[in-house]
Structure 1
Amino acid sequence: MEASVCTQDVEAGSVWSHSCTLDDLLATYVLDPAAGACLESGPGWTRRWKTVWRASQAEVTCPVQDLAVFPVLASVPVRGFTWRARQRHRPGLAYTLTTGRMHGFESLAERRLLLALDFLDGVEEVLSQPFRLKFITVEGAKDHTPDFLVLLPGTAVLVDVRPGHLIKDKDLVKFAAAERAAAAAGWRYLVVTGWRRHVTAGLDALSARRRPMADRLGLHGELLGLVAERPRRFGELVEETSLPAVARAHALHLLWHRRLAVDLAQPLGDAAWVYPVGGRDG
């Protein structure tokens, strides 16, 4: 049976590439509070609920009450990423510039999240399949493995990724348990069910030029100078440089690295307006 979830794609409002957060990029999703009604909540539940991590080829158990002080960076994915013929999901490895290494994902939806995390400012580390949560409900013991743990300065965000139309009733209980465990650790919890319109296409286009680029022709200065004079449409901007064919790639690079700004809620093409960072008039 498919669960009833509260999810809404927010169409109104701009998503400025130079200052957006993960919340700005995501379709709105609110976990139904009733989903956690069956969870154990009596005294000592944080001691009885456990997290199982993998480190140095061994499993390490940590009560939820100690989750905030667990050395998460010493861990590896608690579950492996496997490939086989005729499987219905699409696992793989994705490189992120932020961490400088490959990260496992179990679906294309998870890969899109990894790309967004690589684009966002402030992400320090991303851990795939970080731990297995063992929790207790009125029906007995259950377990759940969240998809990602995202480390931010001084805090963290625990994330599950599931397209809204695929969420079942049993998933809602697992999400509620993960949310409660994250709150006990002082972390935030998110369920990623979808994205704002045009965001994923825009990030995919920008990511093609996210790696370091040598600017021997001085095109970065030209592009920044032109936009500083006044906002320009992307096609017009590159055409006004000394070498438009090359400037196009450098403009994407500057947008990815937040040195230029664009509204990601609009299609990213030659008609898109490009702004100086911090400037949104025009």
Structure 2
Amino acid sequence: MSTGRLHGFESLEERSLLVALDFAGTVVEVLPQPFRLRFETAEGFSEHIPDFLAVFHDGSRWLFDVRPGPLIKERDETCFAASGEAALAVGWRYSVVTGWRSHVLSVLDALSAQRRPLEDQLGLQDWMLEALSRGSVTFGEMVAATSLPVVARAHALHLLWHRRLGIDLSRPLGDHSLVWSVTESG
């Protein structure tokens, strides 16, 4: 994770949020179960522990609860509303993560597999960046511009993870996906 530490998670849904936060690249700290919130409801007092508090480079904070949509019960909704009010009171953002588009998770998993340092002894990354110097191209065209397209795919994923290249995450990643240099608007 971009915080430089390992972070525990209690579910695959929480893991997915951590991968997405890591990909965002602007997180400096993630605190799991950051506090216990005690609040009053019509039925009496209740407690809730939010799942994560993310701290960003600009100092902003974002509080998260993670629960698959079909598993959210009425009590959860009350707890989430209380967490949202508490976050608002201190100037934080708040979200309940209920799920992801399936292709977003598969793309982030593929990209995160290439997040580690990657030696580019063949200069494939430079070839791909040069292919993009004249504007956006498809993923397939970009890797085909190298001497070893099969090997270039791993390097392309590495560049995407480290945000040296951009893609549209609202669509699945494939050879026809448009790729652009981060200096270009896309």
Instruction: Confirm or deny: 8 A CA contact 1:197 1:265 kept in the other structure.
Output: no
1:202 aligns with 2:107: yes
How far has the Cα of 1:117 moved from its partner?
0.3
What SS is found at the alignment partner of 1:229? Answer: coil
1:148 maps to 2:52: yes
Name the CA distance, whole Å, in 2 between partners of 1:262 and 1:197.
16
- Please tell me whether the aligned partners of residues 109 and 162 of structure 1 are also in contact (alpha carbons under 8 angstroms): yes
Unaligned runs of 5+ residues in structure 1 are 1-95
- What aligned pairs does 1:1-282 form with structure 2 within 5 A after superposition? 96=1, 98-152=2-56, 153-196=58-101, 198-277=103-182, 278-280=184-186
Query: In the alignment, residue 177 of structure 2 is paired with which amino acid?
Result: A
**Residue 197 (structure 1) shift:** 5.3
Once the 2 structures are TM-superposed, how far is the Cα of residue 159 of structure 1 from its aligned partner?
Answer: 0.4
CA drift of 1:239 comes to 2.0
2:61 and 2:159 map into 1 onto residues whose CA distance is: 28
1:137 to partner: Cα distance: 1.7
Matched pairs, number: 184
1:122-148 C-alpha deviation (Å, 9 max, x unpaired):
211111111111112222211101000
Superposition misfits of 4+ residues, deviation over 3 angstroms: none
- Specify the code of the residue in structure 1 equivalent to 2:24: L
Spell out, residue by residue over 1:201-237, the C-alpha distance to the aligned partner (whole angstroms, 9 max, x if none). 1111111101121222222211100112242222222
SS at match of 1:106: coil
Whole-angstrom distance in 1 between the partners of 2:78 and 2:127 = 54
RMSD: 1.5
Secondary structure of residue in 2 paired with 1:246: helix
Structure ranking higher in helix proportion: 2
Per the normalisation by structure 2, the TM-score is: 0.92
Q: Rg bigger for which structure?
A: 1
Query: Which structure has more RCO (C-alpha within 8 Å, separation ≥ 6)?
Result: 1
